[in-house]
Amino acid sequence: MTYSKILVDAPMGTLKCAICHNDIKQDNHLYQSERNKSIVCPNCWKLFSKEDIELIIDLFFAYGGYFGKNDSSDFSVNEILKNLTQESESDLDLDQLNIKLLHKALLCGITPEDFVKKLNEILMS
């Protein structure tokens, strides 16, 4: 996967970052995925690794929402686990659970890195 730096030439307010949904300003230098043409703002570019950016874009495409949509204090792994396991009782596989948890974390503005830290904290306790 490759990203190229592009200079935006579009009317104000028509472009949004694929991750945080902030408006893209006309004079911003941006990064565009050559795989899915998604545009990422400079902030998100700094915040996430290239691999994470692709994963995050896929997650929001599949499940909706955007980075930081909800308050980070809304995020409780224990509570989300409880809800998710109630949602889809028997046919829940671990990979899917992980993906759904990560999606919830991203909605609350938690980076994949912090998400892994939080999971480890819970596993250690």
Contact residues: Zn ion, CB under 5 A:
17, 19-20, 41, 44
User: Please, which residue, 48 or 115, has the CB nearer to Zn ion?
Assistant: 48
**How near is the Cβ of 42 to Zn ion at its closest, in Å?**
8
Contact 106, 114 (CB under 8 A): no
Please report, for residues 16, 105, 124, the alpha-carbon distance to residue 117 in angstroms, rounded to integers and kept in the order given.
Answer: 29, 12, 10
What letter would DSSP give residue 12? T
**How near is the Cβ of 83 to Zn ion at its closest, in Å?**
27
**How near is the Cβ of 38 to Zn ion at its closest, in Å?**
10
User: Please, which residue, 54 or 84, has the CB nearer to Zn ion?
Assistant: 54
**How near is the Cβ of 13 to Zn ion at its closest, in Å?**
15
Give me the phi and psi of 26, to 5 degrees please. Answer: -60, -35
Return the residue nearest Zn ion (CB atom): 17
User: Please, which residue, 55 or 119, has the CB nearer to Zn ion?
Assistant: 55
| Distance from chain centroid for Cα 41 | 13
Contact 50, 34 (CB under 8 A): no
- Rounded CA separation 20/65 (Å): 9
User: Please, which residue, 64 or 96, has the CB nearer to Zn ion?
Assistant: 64
Amino acid of residue 60: F
